[in-house]
Amino acid sequence: MKKVIAIIVGLIILTGCDVLDNFTKANTVDGEQEHVAPPSNPSDFYADLVTEIFDESNDILSQFNSLIDRLYASTASEAQFAQIVNDMLPRSNDLLKKLDEALYIINDDFYGFHKDLITLVNFQHQLLLEAIKKANSENEQLDLNKLRSDYVKIKQDQTILIQKIKSILQKQSVQP
């Protein structure tokens, strides 16, 4: 039993180290290698990551909201809507991947927040998937009111999470 626990702990450590190694791996730019150091302050790194996640999420949501407007105004077809939303999926998947990778480098103060952020970004991703599915289906119709309601819910939840991360970071800056 102890061996199994030791193996599991070892795998967790190695996996975590792989994520941190991503920051030290060489990046090639114009044939030259540039080394990226691991974050010196994980809290600052995490705050920057969260800002990046929210920025990208907002960009996706803004585009999605504009598409809903176009459907309401009949300036886009459901097929066009489905294609454009489908093109957003890789960006949405990248957000989820970044959140998964960050699990290994965040400190304990951020785990509750991180869980909530993962839930929100997954809800956003699921919204995109469901919208594509219904737009492409002959049997199901897009419910524009539900799409708009889900969009508003995501924006409200984002606001709550932004306040939560600000509070966490503020508490950390007060601690010695």
pLDDT in tens, 76-100: 999 999 999 999 999 999 999 999 9
> CA 92 to CA 87: how far, in whole Å?
10
Residue 54: pLDDT band with limits 50, 70, 90: very high
Higher-scoring residue by pLDDT: 15, 38:
38
| CB atoms inside a 10 Å sphere around CB 121 | 22
Query: Residue 133: is its pLDDT beyond 70?
Result: yes
Average model confidence (pLDDT) across the chain: 83
* Residue 31 one-letter amino acid: G
pLDDT grade for 61, boundaries at 50, 70 and 90: very high
Write the burial class of residue 35 (CB in 10 Å: 0-12 exposed, 13-18 middle, 19+ buried): exposed
